[in-house]
C-alpha cells in the first residue's frame, strides 16, 4: 500500500466531486432550516437527516462501479484495491461524517439564530446520541459501504431490502425456536395460553460487560464488512 497513491485518489475525488458534496451539505442545512420552520428545531431531526445522507453516500463513492464502461475506467485507475478501499473508507468515515456534522451545526445554528430573533426559545441541544449511537452509525455505514461494492445497481435500496429480509428470516427463526420449545417444555394438559414467556434479565451481568460485548461485536462487524468490500473489489477486477 502506497500513501502517495491514496493521496492521489483523494485529490482526484475532491477535484471530481467537491461541488456535489458542497451541494449536498447545503441541502442538509436547508432541510434542517425548513424542518425548523415546520415543527421546531431539534438535534434528533438533524441527526436523523444526516443518517439518511450517510446511508446514500457509499453509492456515490462507488458509482463508477455500477455501469459497465466507467467500471473498467475505475478498475484501471493506477492504484491497488486496498488503496481504493482505504481512500474511500477515509472519505466515508472521516471526511463525509465531519461534513455532515458541520452541516448539522450550521443548520442548527442558523435555526437557533432565526428562532431567537423571532423571540422564541432556541434550539434544544438535548440528544439521546452517545458513544453507542455513534458506533452504531459507523457499523451501519460499513454495511452500506459493502453493499455499494457488492450490488450492481440501486445499491442503497438493495442493501436496505436484503438487510430487512435477513432480519425477517432471523425473527421467524427465533419465533420458531420459541414455538418448538413451547411444544416440548409446556405440559400437554396445559390450557392454551396458560404459560407466559418472561425472561428475567440476568442480574449478575454488569452493564459494563454488556457494553464491552456490544463494542467488540460492532468492531468485528465493521472490520468484517470492510474486509469483504476489499475482497469483492478484488473479485470484480479479476
Partner 1 sequence: MKKYTNKILIITLIAAAVLMIVVSTVEIRKAFHNGEIKTHKEWETIHVCPTTPDVPLTLDSLESLSNIEK
Q: Which residues bind partner 1 (CB under 8 A)?
A: 150, 166, 169-170, 173-174, 177-178, 181, 185, 190, 193-200, 224, 228, 231-232, 234-235, 238
d(CA 192, CA 214): 37
Identify which of residues 68 and 198 has a Cβ nearer to partner 1 in the complex.
Answer: 198
> Residue 145 corresponds to which cell in the numbers above?
459501504
Identify which of residues 200 and 206 has a Cβ nearer to partner 1 in the complex.
Answer: 200
122, 45 contact by CB (below 8 A): no
Give min distance, CB of 133 to partner 1, in A. 23
Give min distance, CB of 237 to partner 1, in A. 8
DSSP element (H, E) containing 118: none
Other C-beta atoms closer than 10 Å to the C-beta of 86 total: 20
Query: From residue 186, how far is each of 114, 171, 173, 201 by CA, in Å?
Result: 62, 22, 19, 21
Identify which of residues 153 and 196 has a Cβ nearer to partner 1 in the complex.
Answer: 196
145, 91 contact by CB (below 8 A): no
d(CA 180, CA 118): 62
Give min distance, CB of 192 to partner 1, in A. 11
DSSP element (H, E) containing 51: helix 43-61
Give min distance, CB of 200 to partner 1, in A. 5
Identify which of residues 11 and 234 has a Cβ nearer to partner 1 in the complex.
Answer: 234
Identify which of residues 53 and 150 has a Cβ nearer to partner 1 in the complex.
Answer: 150
Give min distance, CB of 169 to partner 1, in A. 8
Give min distance, CB of 209 to partner 1, in A. 16
Identify which of residues 76 and 197 has a Cβ nearer to partner 1 in the complex.
Answer: 197
3-class DSSP assignment, residue 100: helix
Alpha-carbon torsion, ordered 222, 227, 229, 235, to 10 deg: -170
> Residue 207 corresponds to which cell in the numbers above?
452493564
Amino acid at each position: 500500500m502506497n500513501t502517495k497513491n491514496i493521496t492521489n485518489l483523494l485529490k482526484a475525488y475532491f477535484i471530481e466531486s467537491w461541488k456535489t458534496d458542497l451541494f449536498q451539505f447545503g441541502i442538509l442545512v436547508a432541510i434542517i432550516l425548513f424542518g425548523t420552520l415546520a415543527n421546531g428545531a431539534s438535534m434528533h431531526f438533524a441527526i436523523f437527516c444526516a443518517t439518511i445522507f450517510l446511508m446514500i453516500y457509499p453509492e456515490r463513492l462507488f458509482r463508477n462501479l455500477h455501469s459497465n464502461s466507467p467500471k473498467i475506467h475505475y478498475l484501471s485507475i493506477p492504484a491497488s484495491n486496498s488503496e481504493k478501499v482505504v481512500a474511500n473508507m477515509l472519505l466515508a468515515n472521516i471526511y463525509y461524517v465531519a461534513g455532515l456534522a458541520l452541516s448539522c451545526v450550521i443548520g442548527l445554528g442558523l435555526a437557533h439564530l432565526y428562532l431567537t430573533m423571532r423571540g422564541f426559545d432556541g434550539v434544544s441541544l438535548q440528544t439521546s446520541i452517545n458513544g453507542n449511537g455513534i458506533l452504531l452509525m459507523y457499523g451501519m455505514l460499513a454495511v452500506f459501504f459493502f453493499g455499494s461494492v457488492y450490488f450492481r445497481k440501486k445499491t442503497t435500496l438493495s442493501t436496505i431490502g436484503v438487510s430487512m429480509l435477513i432480519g425477517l428470516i432471523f425473527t421467524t427463526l427465533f419465533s420458531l425456536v420459541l414455538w418448538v420449545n413451547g411444544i416440548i417444555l409446556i405440559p400437554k394438559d396445559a390450557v392454551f395460553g396458560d404459560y407466559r414467556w418472561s425472561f428475567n434479565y440476568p442480574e449478575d451481568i454488569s452493564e459494563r460487560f454488556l457494553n464491552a460485548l456490544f463494542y467488540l461485536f460492532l468492531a468485528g462487524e465493521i472490520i468484517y464488512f470492510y474486509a469483504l468490500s476489499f475482497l469483492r473489489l478484488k473479485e470484480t477486477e479479476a
